Amino acid sequence: MSYDTHNIFAKILKGDIPFEALYQDEFAVAFPDINPRAKVHVLVIPTGPYVSSEDFHARARDAEIVGYYRALDKVLEILNLKGNSGYRLLSNSGKDAKQEVPHFHTHIFAGQDLGPMLCV
């Protein structure tokens, strides 16, 4: 799947759509999810054009991958989630996972009992 340069996160990165940056560096941007599913629901996206986790891990430079995960870790720190009652990291990839935005991202959920991982 090729990268859609008009997806909503691409627009955020270009500055075409307003967003509340919780963290921003060369490799990643973090902002609250517009439709929060938990008391804390934050998205962390890489600044490069990657469709999904597999695309990111296959095509990104090592520095981008390390930079992204270091940034994710900083966001956990900023949100004061480290060493406390816990959080969930989740990344949807593809149709079965119902990925809505075709730009790789990690969801951070926290601030409450998050329940079971999946309800089947």
Give the residues across from 13 on adjacent strands.
Answer: none
Least distance in angstroms from the C-beta of 84 to ligand AMP: 23
Residue 7 in contact with ligand AMP, rule: CB under 6 A: no
Q: Select the residue interacting with ligand AMP from 6, 14, 17, 85 (CB under 6 A).
A: 17
105 is catalytic: yes
Residue 30 and residue 71 in contact, taking contact as beta carbons nearer than 8 Å: yes
Residue 21 in contact with ligand AMP, rule: CB under 6 A: no
Give the position of tokens 């509340």: 20
Residue 92 in contact with ligand AMP, rule: CB under 6 A: yes
Which of 21/63 has CB closer to ligand AMP? 21
Q: Select the residue interacting with ligand AMP from 15, 35, 117, 118 (CB under 6 A).
A: 35
Distances in whole angstroms, Cα of residue 16 to Cα of each of 10, 34, 67, 90, 117: 9, 16, 24, 26, 34
Residue 53 in contact with ligand AMP, rule: CB under 6 A: no
Give the position of tokens 């609250």: 32
Give the position of tokens 């989740």: 90
> Which residues form the catalytic set?
105
